[in-house]
Amino acid sequence: MTRKSHDQLAKQYLAELLTPIGKVETSFDISSEVRQVDVWFVPASPLPPDVSVLGLLGQMVSSACMLEVFRNPPTLIEVRTCQLKLYGLHGELLRQARREKNSFKEADLPFLWILTPTSSTQFLNSFGAESHPEWVQGVYFLAPAQKTAIVAINQLPVTEETLWLRVLGRGGTQQRAVEELVKLPIDNPLREKLLEILVNWRTNLELKADLTDEDRELIMDLSPAYLQKREEWRIEGIREGIQAGIREGRSEGRREMIENLLRVRFGEVDENLQRAIALMLQLPTEELTRLLLTLNREELLARFNPE
């Protein structure tokens, strides 16, 4: 079950990142024998300039490729099964080109990227996988004719360029990456949608009746995203409530909204805060909202009880 839920997350997550720069199909069927590819990606032509925001992932998908994502390290058989899908796809594309009387060069055949949370030296050596000087640590290529590479997510350098892939790791690697994602500027074009995907995934896991140890690990790994979004939603709800009360134009409505917010933030509204409310009511909407959400109790009293 966890494997299936991770597959769904990986597909949705990668589709969100890749859709702006090309054509994405998830759960893509290869007709020779029905085998689903996690993600089948064909980049737009020409490649959009903003592909650079995807860092290492953008470098990987600069040409047509398959992405197979594993929650647990794949076995030798699982890697070969991924390659079988790749070569089945190659055959299908070549047959289609012949039917349409088009040429199809070796360089045009799609590449396979296998994403694994960890990988041992022995495992990589068994495939003859080697690092490449033009690629970062953690990316290992099989012999060129195999058109396959293994990405050991836990070995990737902790940089902004690898962030989008490290989110798909596990344990400490994933948790730290999610914390980095949370800290991105709010106006980052990818941050909001990806946080929502991660929060929804975590919520769905919590609703399961029979949580496994791996499920609980995932819930912990995704907690930073959940807590951040919950706080953002809470602040947004408070802000909307304040502004709705103020828009009513009635002093009673405004006072009630301010009192409710002060209770949420400080637990009670004592005499000092009650006296401060009278001055708060005189402020414009935007200024009042900003002060109520940013100042602590002492700062509010100093601001509205200067004596």
| Per-residue pLDDT tens digits of the chain, which is 307 residues long | 556 677 888 888 999 999 989 999 888 776 555 578 899 999 988 888 878 889 999 999 999 999 999 989 999 999 999 999 999 999 888 988 889 888 878 888 999 999 999 999 999 999 999 999 999 999 999 999 999 999 999 999 999 999 999 989 988 898 888 888 878 887 887 877 887 777 776 666 666 667 666 666 665 666 665 555 555 554 455 455 555 555 554 555 677 777 777 777 777 788 888 888 888 877 776 677 777 777 788 888 888 875 5
Host H or E run for residue 217: helix 213-221
Provide the 8-state DSSP code for 190.
Answer: T
Residue with tokens 């992932």: 57
In single-letter form, the type of residue at position 279 comes to L
Q: What is the DSSP string of 84-105?
A: HHHHHHHHHHHHHHHHTT----
Q: Which of 192, 199, 194 is nearest to 223 (CA)?
A: 199
Task: Return d(Cα 88, Cα 82) in angstroms, integer.
Answer: 10
Task: Return d(Cα 64, Cα 259) in angstroms, integer.
Answer: 58
Burial class of residue 247 in the structure, from the number of CB atoms within 10 Å of its CB (0-12 exposed, 13-18 middle, 19+ buried): exposed
Say if residues 26 and 210 touch (Cβ distance below 8 Å): no
Task: Return d(Cα 47, Cα 54) in angstroms, integer.
Answer: 13
Structure tokens at 230: 């919950």
Q: Three-state DSSP class for 40? A: strand
Contacts of range 296-304, beta carbons closer than 8 Å, 24 or more positions apart = 297/265, 297/266, 297/273, 300/273, 300/276, 301/272, 301/273, 301/276, 303/276, 304/275, 304/276, 304/277, 304/279, 304/280
Task: Return d(Cα 16, Cα 197) in angstroms, integer.
Answer: 9
